[in-house]
Structure 1
Amino acid sequence: MSKEEATSAFRVIYASFNLAIPPSLLHDPMTALLEIWDSLLIRRYIPQLSGVLIAHDEHMFLRSSAAIDGDGAFATVPAAIKALVWAPHVGQRLEGKLTLSTSSHVSLLVHGTFNASISSMHLPTSESLALAESNSTSFERPNRGAQVWSFVEGYGLDGVDEHARGDAEAEHDQQQQQEEEEEEEEEEGRKSTGYWAKEDGGRLGGENGRIVFTVIG
């Protein structure tokens, strides 16, 4: 996680490739090109593009004729496209919406589409910082100024112990809200078991549940 602003992982790439045109589409090679990219490659990770294909445009053939080699039924022709890909890299800062909190990890949704996960080992706790200091051979304390997090089990999703409330109306409103959120989580097959909080009580993700984090792999 980081206090710095998130950056965009979207990239525009111009790619060339050899297109295999099936016999049924020899009369319409552009349809063959569009069908392959729309039905087989869209929203998939493509190693040649080093990212997930989001959209494509500016399709063109690099040669005016196709070739059929040997006894093959497919004609091949070099082609090119302009592709929009989502390609985050190690060290890049992204922003995600918190969707799940457990003692082992938190799950995020980036751009409402891509899943990300932050392991609890990357959320510094008082125990992990103490261990790092005891193992350090430097005179300077490691992780100086690092925020210390702890996982709070069994509390309401707004970070307040519902049994500690004396206001019956507020308790009812919170319970209703929690039931609605639990129903949404159960539909997705996921359920938070608590939340991560700082020593001062601040909750991971803040009021809007958004987290800026650093890609490490």
Structure 2
Amino acid sequence: MPAEVRTSFEAELDAPVSKRRVPIKSTNPVNLDGLLECFQVVRTSLYVSVAPCHIANPINGIKAQHLDPLIMTYFAKGQGVVLSYSNIVVSKEHHSLDTDDQPITITKVGDSTPFSFMWITVDLLIWHPQIGDTLEGYIYMQTASHIGLLVHDTFNASIKFRNIPQDWEFVPSQADEFGESEELTDAKSSKFRSYGYWADGSGTKVEGKITFTVRAIHSTGRMLSVEGSLVSPESELDAQPVFQERRTSTAMSPVANKHMKFDDEPSEVTEIAEPTDDVLPTYEKDGENALSSDSDDSSD
């Protein structure tokens, strides 16, 4: 399944200043601490199948087959992570009465499969972060390339190097520089290993919980991850590397385009002069040559 990425800052940074759009405003409510509440209840309709073993109690079958596997996974229709469900209602078209006028659930079964299908509506409690939300996360990992966070002690978030303030400095761990003994390494193998820590502009170690802004949301399959930022979009633009194009003068352009080798010595060319004699060379047969040579020997 292809990855889904929702982001807004890239388009704003590439656009001219006069044409930049107003940042997307989140629809999540704000609590008393100034943080956004990302928990929502979404009512949705699903077309589900029921196995023959659950035909006597289709609600339990729907829970086991379809709703329970959704817990703690990304649900694309609700654009969030499902935390729980409630109020399962089967569509009215599947309601009927038996011979004793008792309500029952009916459904159609085709010739090609023993499974029956029906429409249901259900309320889903989801965690639905939006771009621009202000969230709080607990730092569980710090490296020179990013900061790892846990939101609500459950959801993963990360802040990349380019989204960290420029006056912050990463202080590497001394153990990484000088190494550790094998016994100490084995003792810490089951624990989190510290790669160092970030210090803010005043030199204070950054740890515990920090507040960040949601910059992008990545969803791959049933997993969801949040990318955050500690700087404004304008500061992020200033942190990007600047590339200057090298210009070449017109006088130097022919020399610059010419391929030159300095390691190889210039090769010497020896010219052979053409013969001045206009007489063309002739060839004699081997027999005549042999007779002439024998006659010359006998005369001697």
Same fold (TM over 0.5): yes
Letter in 2 for 1:112: D
What runs of 5+ residues in structure 2 fail to find an aligned partner? Answer: 1-32, 96-105, 176-183, 217-300
Find the counterpart in structure 2 of residue 196 from structure 1: 198
Shift of 1:192: 2.3
CA distance in 1, matches of 2:127, 2:110: 36
Find the counterpart in structure 1 of residue 190 from structure 2: 187
Shift of 1:37: 4.1
Tell me whether 1:30 sits opposite 2:67 in the alignment. Answer: no
Q: 1:78 aligns with which of 116, 119, 123?
A: 119
Letter in 1 for 2:171: V
Tell me whether 1:115 sits opposite 2:156 in the alignment. Answer: yes
Higher relative contact order (CA 8 A, sep 6+): 1
Find the counterpart in structure 2 of residue 88 from structure 1: 129
Q: Deviation digits for residues 107-164 of structure 1, max 9, x if unmatched?
A: 0111111111111111122xxxxxxxxxxxxxxxxxxxxxx211112269xxxxxxxx
* Alignment RMSD: 2.1
SS at match of 1:30: helix
Q: Deviation digits for residues 165-211 of structure 1, max 9, x if unmatched?
A: xxxxxxxxxxxxxx9xx94xx436x4222111122122224xxx001
CA distance in 2, matches of 1:88, 1:216: 11
Given that 1:5 and 1:212 are in contact with CA atoms closer than 8 Å, whether structure 2 keeps it comes out as no
CA distance in 2, matches of 1:192, 1:154: 7
SS at match of 1:107: strand
Q: Deviation digits for residues 33-62 of structure 1, max 9, x if unmatched?
A: 111345421111111121111001111111
Superposed, 1:68-217 pairs within 5 Å as 68-125=109-166, 148-154=167-173, 183=188, 186-187=189-190, 190-205=192-207, 209-217=208-216
SS at match of 1:109: strand
| Structure ID, larger Rg | 2
Given that 1:44 and 1:53 are in contact with CA atoms closer than 8 Å, whether structure 2 keeps it comes out as yes
Normalised by the length of structure 2, the TM-score is 0.50
Aligned residues: 162
* Identity over aligned pairs, percent: 28
- The verdict on how the C-alpha distance between 1:54 and 1:37 changes in structure 2, with shifts beyond 3 A counting, is farther
Q: 2:75 aligns with which of 42, 46, 60?
A: 46
What runs of 5+ residues in structure 1 fail to find an aligned partner? Answer: 126-147, 157-178
Given that 1:9 and 1:87 are in contact with CA atoms closer than 8 Å, whether structure 2 keeps it comes out as yes
CA distance in 1, matches of 2:54, 2:66: 15
